[in-house]
Amino acid sequence: MDDQKTNLKNGGINKKLAAIVLLIILAIIAIVLIKNYSKQRGNKQNPDQQQASNPVACDDSAVFTSFAEAIKSPEKVCRLNMIGQRLPFLPSSISSFTNLKQLSVSQNQLTALPSSILPLNQLLILDLSYNNISKLSLPPLPSGQQSTTNTSGAGIELLSNLTKLNVSNNQLTDLPTSFANLTKLTQLNISNNKFKTLPPAVTKLNLLMELNISNNPITALPDNMKDLTNLSYLVVTGTKIPQKQLDQLKLSLPKLTIIK
């Protein structure tokens, strides 16, 4: 009789253990299923989220020459060429080319720095040559008037990633002090303008390697020109800079080639 009671008791214990084990297994399965479901939901982003996490890369090999074509897919435009299109101004929608790296608006009828290009902070190469631009900064707004683009009084220094800039054949007489903020510039062409002196901001461009100041009525170079230790080419054709000063500069910068 005692053996039967013991067997019944052990059988009850085994059933309880089996039930506990089953509950643990079910709990583990439930946890795994929940994790997999959460992971799948995380991967199912809406189109806007997918676009944000996978931005469209622009095509470096393609050069767009038609603004109408380029504006259809502005995020894909790396290089835009609008040479000789008689443009008196640039469309405001050009600011939507957020991946633009190279822009040429040479040989147009621009009379001022286009404010619409100032938000293009990915721009590396800019050609504004052969226009009628007299300033590389925007005029401040009248008192009491607010700017909607935060560029009032600002200038080309907002394009802080520029490495090459061509503003030759315009009507420039000076450059703003803030021009010195273009610290990544390696090539600068300000030839065929109306500079009487070299703007002080130019001598602060420490990475500058090529500088063209030809065909300006410049009569002398500033003493701190020697601080441009990376300068390798200087074009002074058609200026009035004394040869003696050029010789002194060459002694300070022995790697410099001066083209006169």
Question: Which residue has better confidence, 199 or 56?
Answer: 199
Scan for tokens 């939901």, then name that residue: 41
Q: What percent of the chain has pLDDT over 70?
A: 78
Does position 76 have pLDDT exceeding 80, yes or no? yes
DSSP string spanning 141-166?
Answer: PPTTPPPSSS-TT-BGGG-TT-SEEE
pTM of the model: 0.75
- In whole angstroms, give the CA distance from residue 232 to residue 145: 46
Does position 147 have pLDDT exceeding 60, yes or no? no
Q: What are the distances in angstroms from CA 159 to CA 12, 115, 117, 162, 193?
A: 81, 11, 8, 6, 21
Domain ranges of the chain: 156-260
- In whole angstroms, give the CA distance from residue 100 to residue 102: 6
> With contact defined as beta carbons under 8 Å apart, do 125 and 159 qualify?
no
Does position 35 have pLDDT exceeding 90, yes or no? no
- In whole angstroms, give the CA distance from residue 260 to residue 258: 6
Each residue of 200-224: pLDDT tens digit?
A: 999 999 999 999 999 999 999 999 9
> With contact defined as beta carbons under 8 Å apart, do 90 and 67 qualify?
no
To which H or E segment does residue 94 belong? none
Question: Which residue has better confidence, 30 or 79?
Answer: 79
Each residue of 47-73: pLDDT tens digit?
A: 444 444 445 577 778 899 999 999 999
- In whole angstroms, give the CA distance from residue 14 to residue 118: 79
Residue type, 105: V
Q: What's the pLDDT band for 141 if we cut at 50, 70, 90?
A: very low
Each residue of 227-241: pLDDT tens digit?
A: 999 999 999 999 999
Question: Which residue has better confidence, 42 or 117?
Answer: 117
Question: If you average pLDDT over every residue of the chain, what do you get?
Answer: 85
| Homologous superfamily of the 156-260 domain (CATH) | Ribonuclease Inhibitor (3.80.10.10)
Predicted confidence at residue 23, as pLDDT, reads: 73
Q: What's the pLDDT band for 138 if we cut at 50, 70, 90?
A: confident
